[in-house]
Chains A and B, each alone.
Chain A
Amino acid sequence: MSPILETRGLSRSFHGLRAVHDVDFALEAGEIRALIGPNGAGKTTFVSMLIGRLAADAGQVIFEGRDITALPDHRRVALGMAYTFQITSVFSRLTAAENVALAARRRLGGDRAAVAREVATALERTGLAGQGEVAAEDLSYGHQRLLEIAMGLAQHPRLLILDEPTQGLAETEIAAFKALVRDLAGQTTILLIEHNMAVVMELAHRITVLNFGEVLAEGTPAAIRADRAVQEAYLGTEAAHG
C-alpha cells in the first residue's frame, strides 16, 4: 500500500538553527501515528510544513501521491488534510456551533440541514453537546481544545493532524479523547503530536521520535519503549524530571 503522506528530505532552518533537517517520513493510510520528541525537537515546525503554515527550505511533501510542497495551506486543507492548533485558535467571539459550522460549510456549502447535522454530530462526539450556543471565548480552556478537535472532525479529513490535543484536558476528558481517536481509526489517518506518554503508548500504532530536527527512531510503541537511544534522548530526561 502506498502511503497517504510522505516527506522527502524535508528541511527548515531559523537563523541558521536547523529546526527540521532532512526528514524522510511516511504515513500509511488508516494508521494512528504519534510524533514525539523533547521540547524544541522540531515537531511543530515539521507539521507546520506538512499543512503549509510554514514553507520548507528544502524537500518535498507528498499527499496521496501528489506533490503539494508548493500549495498554500488552504489548498492542502481542501485536498483533505486538517490541522488542529497547539495554541488554541478558535473564532473566540463566535459560538461553538458557528465555529464547527464554519469547518463543515466549506465541504457542505449552503445546505443548512446537512451543516446543522454535522455540527450536532461533531459537538456530540467531542462531548460538547449542549455548549453549542456558548461563545467560544466563554468555554473553559479544555473545552476550547475539544472545540478544536470538533472543528477537525467536521471537515471529514482523510488526514487529521492533532497538535498536542490533550494539553490542558482533565483526566476524564483525556479518557473521552482516547475513545474518540480509537473510534476514528479506520475512518481517517491520524498524526498525533503528544507529550502525554500514556496517551501515546495506548493509541499509537507506530511512533516516530524526533530529536534535534532529525528522525531518531521509528517503530511500534513497544519497540520505542525499548529503544536505548530514545530513552537517553527523551524518556530518560523525562524520567529524570520526575
Chain B
Amino acid sequence: MRASLALHLGLVAVLFALNFVLPAYAHGNIARVMTLAVYAIGYNIAFGYTGLLSLGHAMFFAAGMYGAGLLLRFTDAGAVAAFGVALACGAGLALVTGLLALRTAGVSFMIVTLMFSQACALAILYFAEYTRGDEGFVIAAASRVVAGHDLGDAQVRYLAAWALFSAAFLFSLWLVNRPMGKVLVAIRENEPRARLLGYDTFRLKLGALVISGMVSAASGAGYGLFFGYAGASFAGVQYSIFPLLWVLLGGAGTVIGPFLGTLFMFYLIDLSSGITDAYMLIAGVALIGLTLFAPQGIAGELRRRAWRGLP
C-alpha cells in the first residue's frame, strides 16, 4: 500500500519536474501524452477494471471536446465553465448510453457502443452549421484562458495537462482501493457470483461507465482547450480503438498502465516515423511482440512477475 502510493505519487512528481528540464519538443509531447493518458485512464475504469469492452468511447472524448468547444465558440462562458459543461456532457451521454447498452454484454455490448459512437460522429457532421463538420473549428485563443493564464502558452499548457492527469490518475488509484473499485473487479471476474453476493451489478456497471465517460470527456475537453481545436476525426472509430490499445499495451486493470501504454505508443509512432515512412509497420511489429510476450501489458507483466499487489 505504501509502496504503491510512493510509485504513483512519484510518477506525478517526476512529471511535474520534467516541466523544467525537458527540451521544447519533448515538453510538448509529454503534455499531449498526459492529456491523452487521461482518456486511457477513463477507458481503463470501464474496460480494465469492470470488464466492459466498449468500442465507442470516442463519443465520450468527443462529448467533452465539443461540449467545451461549442460553448466557447458561441458564448463567452470561459474555459472553466466550458470544462464543467464538458464533464456533464460526458457523464450524461454515458448514462443514457449505459442504460441501453448495458442490457447487453460481450460482443453485443461492443457493437451497441460502436453504433452509438457512430451516431454521435454522424451527428457532428450533420450539424455542420454549428460544428463545421469535417473541418472542425479552432477554439479561439482568447477563450482559452484560466485565471489570467493562457492555456496556449507552453508552460501553462504543460502544467494544466499535468494537473488534469494527476487528478484523473490519483482519482483512479483512490477508486480502485475503495469498496466500489473492488466490486468492479469482482464483476469483471465473475458477474453472476457478484450478484449472488448481493451486489446490484447493473447499477455498479452503470456507475463505472458514467465515471469512465466523464473522465474520457475531461480528456477530450482538455485536448480541445490545450491545443485549440475540435475536429470530427476525434469522434471516429480510430479514437475508440486508441484507448483500447493504450490500455492493453500498458496493462489493463492497473492504475499506471494507461499512462505507460499511451507514452509507449506515442513514442513508438514518433520514433519509427523518424526512421521510415512505413512507420506503422514498425509499430505493428512492436505491438505484436508485446502481445506475444507480455499479454498483460507492461504494468500487468510487472504485477505478474514482481509486484503482486500493484493496484
- Using a CB–CB cutoff of 8 Å, the interface residues on chain A facing chain B are 51, 53, 72-75, 77-78, 83, 85, 89-94, 98, 101-103, 105-106, 109-110, 151, 155
Contact = CB atoms under 8 A, between A and B. Distances in A.
Given A94-B186, A94-B189, A106 B198 contact: yes
Nearest to B201: A74
Given A74-B198, A102-B194, A91 B178 contact: no
B4 to A, nearest CB: 16
Contacts of A109: 179
Contact of A89 (B183, B193, B198): B193
A126 B199 CA distance: 24
A91 B197 CA distance: 12
Contacts of A75: 200
A155 B186 CA distance: 16
Interface SS of chain B: helix, strand, loop or mixed?
helix
The 4 closest A-B pairs by CB, nearest first: A77-B198, A78-B198, A91-B189, A74-B195
B179 A110 contact: yes
Contact of A106 (B189, B190, B192, B197): B197
Nearest to B189: A91
Nearest to A94: B189
Interface in B183-233: 183, 185-186, 189-190, 192-201
B201 A91 contact: no
A92 B199 CA distance: 18
A110 B183 contact: no
Contacts of A98: 182
Given A89-B192, A92-B189, A74 B200 contact: yes
A106 B199 contact: yes
Interface in B144-176: none
B197 A102 contact: yes
Contacts of A155: 197-198
A101 B182 contact: yes
Contacts of B183: 102, 105
Given A74-B198, A155-B198, A105 B182 contact: yes
7 contacts: A74-B196, A77-B197, A77-B198, A91-B185, A91-B189, A94-B186, A102-B182
**Most interface-central of B178, B197, B200 (chain A CB within 10 A):** B197
Nearest to A104: B197
A124 to B, nearest CB: 20
